[in-house]
Structure 1
Amino acid sequence: MSVEALLTRDYDANPSSVHEYLRARYGPVAPVDLLGVPVWFVVGYEEVLHVLRNKGGIWSKNVDRWRAYGEGRVPADWPLLPVFQVNNSAFAEGATQHRLRAAWTKALAPFQDHTRPQAQLLEQAIKQYADDLIGVLSEGGTTGWADLAAQYARPLPLMVANRLLGFTADRGEEVVMDIWRMIDAGPDAAAAFQRLYASMTELAAAKRQHPGDDLPSYMIEADPDLTLDELARELLMLPGLLDFTASLVCNVVVEVVSNPTMRESLSVGAIDETVNRAALLNPPMANLTFRFPMTDVKMGNYTIGGGDPVMLSVAAAHADPRFAGALDHQAIRSTRAHLAWGAGPHGCLGQRLATQIATIAVQRLFNHCSKLKPALPPDQLPWRPSPFMRALRSLPVQYQLAEGRVPASPAAGAPMPQPSAPAEAAAPQSRSPLWSFLRGLRRAR
């Protein structure tokens, strides 16, 4: 069967037009080529939801279920192969998946339950991180130009990751920078991953000996039988969740400055609704990693063979007329029946945390800024090329800080703030790689 190339210039510029072309020509399921590998691409809302729910138990994410992979027909240098070879709960099934997700649920609870002191302290920290980042922007003056993706939206969630992981301030800054290098998939990404895996393994071992008030310690408490390798691989999932959050923050800002309905919802204080609507209109995780049916399955106009790779498109599903046609785009409140957070046995366990970070980020930004004007029209914004994420490479804006609302910026040598850490952990240092990097971005503009 002939297949359509998916990752084209048209797709990078306007994926929705490609989705509609595929839907019109093939129906809810289309045969596509993904960097040289044939894949079934699901664009129908009902079909995507059906696979995510996996009520029949026939859909697996385990790469060993991929027939072509098992037969050696997937090139060893296929660029996306390492994504599917990660051995953690995102790709697990059965008892292993249930065990690992149970550990995540228990470990995240103190940080997602706002009646718990850990969640309250984390909320204070997120606000402080946001104010510090805005403070660095303000060093160039109360008006100016900034890249909100690089200087605000992306560093903020990674600072939260550092705190949740329980690194000390000095070690944590280097880890944050390596997380950034890994997510950007640049020339030093492989070396950054090796350093991160070593850091996570070392961290897991340290937390076994000296538990703290942090995510790794709570995961060990939830499942004492976790091996160091298992724990390290699970902890490496956290940066992915928070990079999703960074993209969501950018998408919210774009929607607010370009969409009158979004501005209205923000002006009446419905910030959680603003975030939800952005996740609906422009989900950061546009396409999900593969599922593999364990038997032949009829879907749309095709029969998908057992072991064939199936990629679910959340972005295309949200635009499916069977779903989008029922939405009221003028309403202040929008549906929660979207799929930006997944669904079923692999649904996102950190949704509340990611939503909280995005909500605080947007709230603090618009509280401190009396004016935010995009430097480019929405259709000219540069997007990061990715088969999975729909994330901005940069978000250039002109800003004006509100009078009397300029936050203090961190000292030149200060480490990342740790509001609940002992005083000695927050002592000034001679060099701060994160703040130096961000100040370098400001001076480079």
Structure 2
Amino acid sequence: MTPQGPQPHQPPEPTAPAPAEPLLTRDYDANPAQVHARLRDTYGAVAPVDLLGVPVWFVMGYEEVLRVLQNAGGVWSKHPDRWKAHAEGRIPADWPLLPVFQVNNSTFQEGAAQQQLRNAWTSALAPFQDHGHPQAQQLEQAVARHADDLIAVLAEGGTTGQADLAAQYARPLPLMVADRMLGFTAGRGEDVVMDIWRLIDAGADEATALERLHAAMTELGAAKREHPGDDLPSYLIAAKPDITLDELARELLMLPGLLDFTASLVCNVVVEVATNPDVRESLSTGAIDETINRVALLNPPMANLTFRYALTEVKLGGRTIAAGDPVMLSVAAAHQDPRFAGAIDWNAIRTTRAHLAWGAGPHNCLGRLLATRITAIAVHRLFKRMSKVKLALPADQLPWRPSPFMRALRSLPIQYELAPAPPTTAPTPAPPTPEAPPPTEPADRPSRSPLWTFLRGLRRPR
């Protein structure tokens, strides 16, 4: 792609990515767009930054990010073995982000091994993403039911009140969907959901939660190999019969990233709807998918991507990237690149699909349709059940989770008012017979389980 219009000024090229200024600062947590603009003014499309003590190249130009993602020349790798500083032992063993790069799954693999696993994922996700498939229809019904159940827990405190929509709605909803897709038994599934939550939050027990999750996924894979079902692990095994249990467990552990992305996207869409009356009005016309796309452009949950490494010396954005140097691609900064943003008609009804929120090239997101559908249902059910959703803080004061990769709210405090329930006529239940026992509450409805007890404990007093 040939950029149009004047090119940004390129200062003298640094000879190495260090020394450099720290990227993750309070200013970055509060307003990354301002940091992007300052770095762009100082360095151009590619800036040397310090990431928690490790020097990396921070790529902010739309064209440059897209070029690396597409990797047409085969000069970029995601495999950490290509990271020169890591191979030479120059990355501290206690570097906080090191575990992210040590997960040996298809996220970081290359070539035939990666393609085989991605093909398996494509096949395994198809029943859940193809709207014509019964499994996808059942999943959509389950998402709506889970959403209603979470809203019902809020309603137990009254028809008006305050809530943290991140903790009480947006984050647990995708985890419940994952529980269903993985095919765990009810009790085991909730334990896994809670551990996924601990892993995403990177708390003090993150390491033990990861160990339990790997063991649970391995155990699940063994059970599904013996007794396949209509679930994600069984579909992965069917698509790649030679996959080992360890490989399967590592692949299934990719779900927390997709779930965190989806939860953040739900929150970001809710903020957009709550603060923009025109958007709220458009939801009644079925424009939720367009709103999701617009939010993915303006505020992508995956703001920065994990590293790529140059396989040979390469020029990028006027900089010379040495072989083995890491680059971190900033999707959020690329969307703000004047060469890209300046060409967008922001008043158009339909927003550009050329954004990079779902990645591009050989590592693009395979769960895009699933994440979008969960988000659409979550937003639709929320604003159908609530007549009022008002942010309890100004939008520019919402608390964001410090993260080098995600742009996710730590909490989403709101004031809400439930819409009046439509009148219904309850059918007269048939008397129980020995052949037809009395109906019981479905296993996936709210109960006194640890997960629902935890969620009820988050309710705020009126």
Above 0.5 in TM-score?
yes
Aligned letter for 1:365?
L
Match of 1:181 in 2: 198
2:294 pairs with 1:277 = yes
Distance 2:191 2:344 in 1: 45
Once the two structures are superposed, residues 127-182 of structure 1 have per-residue CA deviations (whole angstroms, 9 ceiling, x without a partner) of 00000000001001111000000000000000000000000111111110010001
Q: Deviation per CA, 1:53-85, whole angstroms, max 9, x where unpaired?
A: 011111100000000000000111100000001
How far apart, in 1, do the equivalents of 2:170 and 2:72 lie? 36
CA contact (8 A) 1:168 1:425 kept: no
CA deviation vs aligned residue, 1:275-307 (integer Å, no higher than 9, x gap) = 111111100000000000100010112100011
Match of 1:197 among 198, 214, 226: 214
Aligned mate of 1:101, from 106, 118, 139? 118
Q: 1:82 aligns with which of 99, 103, 113?
A: 99
Q: Among 229, 241, 247, which residue is 2:258 paired with? A: 241
Residue of structure 2 in register with 1:338 after alignment: 355
Percent identity over paired residues: 76
- For the aligned residue pairs, the C-alpha RMSD in angstroms reads 1.8
Of 294, 307, 313, which residue of structure 1 is paired with 2:324?
A: 307
- Of residues 30-39 and 318-327 in structure 1, the stretch that sits farther from structure 2 once superposed is 318-327
Task: Map 1:244-259 to 2 at 5 A.
Answer: 244-259=261-276
Q: State the alpha-carbon separation in 1 of the partners of residues 444 and 117 from structure 2.
A: 36
Deviates more, 1:428-437 or 1:195-204: 428-437
Residue matched to 1:219: 236
Matching residue of 1:140: 157
- Equivalent residues of 1:145, 1:396 under 8 A apart: yes
Taking structure 1 as the reference length, the TM-score comes to 0.94
Q: Counterpart amino acid of 1:144?
A: G
Contact 1:261/1:330 (CA < 8 Å) preserved in 2? no
Equivalent residue, structure 2, for 1:320: 337
Q: Which moved more, 1:40-49 or 1:320-329?
A: 320-329
> Counterparts of 1:20-59 in structure 2 under 5 Å?
20-59=37-76
* 1:265–1:273 CA contact under 8 A, matched in 2: no
Counterpart of 1:418 in structure 2 is none
Seen in structure 2, the aligned counterparts of structure 1 residues 405 and 389 have a Cα distance that, compared at 3 Å, is farther
In structure 2, C-alpha distance between the alignment counterparts of 1:428 and 1:56, rounded to whole Å:
51
For residues 57 and 405 of structure 1, the distance between their equivalents in structure 2, rounded to whole angstroms, comes to 58
Select the residue among 119, 139, 143 that pairs with 1:126. Answer: 143
Query: Which structure has the greater CA radius of gyration?
Result: 2
Query: Is 2:407 the counterpart of 1:390?
Result: yes
- Structure 2: gaps (5+ residues): 1-17, 425-438
Contact 2:146 2:445 in 1 (8 A): no
Q: Deviation per CA, 1:236-276: give whole Å up to 9, x if none.
A: 10121011000000000111111344334324220100111
From the superposition, tell whether residues 48 and 406 of structure 1 become closer, same or farther in structure 2 (CA, over 3 Å): farther
C-alpha distance in 2 between matches for 1:431 and 1:20: 50
- Partner Cα distance (1:403, 1:308) in 2: 58
Provide the C-alpha distance between the structure 2 equivalents of 1:340 and 1:229, rounded to a whole number of angstroms: 30
Question: The residue matched to 2:55 in structure 1 has which SS?
Answer: strand
Instruction: Give the distance between the partners of 2:393 and 2:281, measured in 1 at CA.
Output: 22
Letter in 2 for 1:325: G
SS in 1 for 2:304: coil
Q: Kindly provide the CA deviation profile for residues 398-440 of structure 1, in whole angstroms up to 9, marking residues without a partner as x.
A: 0001111599xxxxxxxxxxxxxx9898299984011100100
| Separation in 1, partners of 2:449, 2:22 | 44
Q: How far apart in 2 are the matches of 1:342 and 1:260?
A: 30
| Alpha-carbon contact 1:145-1:397 (below 8 Å) kept | yes
Rounded Cα–Cα distance in structure 1 between residues aligned with 2:379 and 2:54 = 39
Aligned to 2:247: 230
Deviates more, 1:1-10 or 1:206-215: 1-10
2:15 — aligned with what? Answer: none
The 1-side partners of 2:314 and 2:369 are apart by: 34
Question: Quick one: which amino acid aligns to residue 97 of structure 2?
Answer: L
1:350 partnered with 2:367: yes
Q: Which runs of 5+ in 1 are unaligned?
A: 408-421
Normalization by structure 2: what TM-score?
Answer: 0.91
Could you tell me which amino acid in structure 2 is paired with residue 319 of structure 1?
Q
Moved over 3 A (4+): 422-425, 427-431
Alignment coverage as a number of residue pairs: 431
Change (3 A) 1:24 1:143: same
Q: Partner letter of residue 131 of structure 1?
A: D
Q: Distance in 2 between matches of 1:260 and 1:92?
A: 44
Mapped partners of 2:90, 2:96: distance in 1: 14
Contact 1:257 / 1:372 at 8 angstroms: preserved in 2? yes
The answer to whether the 8 Å contact 1:138/1:406 transfers is no
1:366 is the counterpart of 2:383: yes
| CA deviation after TM superposition for structure 1 residue 373, in Å | 0.4
Return the letter of the residue paired with 2:329: L
Please tell me whether the aligned partners of residues 318 and 338 of structure 1 are also in contact (alpha carbons under 8 angstroms).
yes
Partner AA of 1:302 in structure 2: R
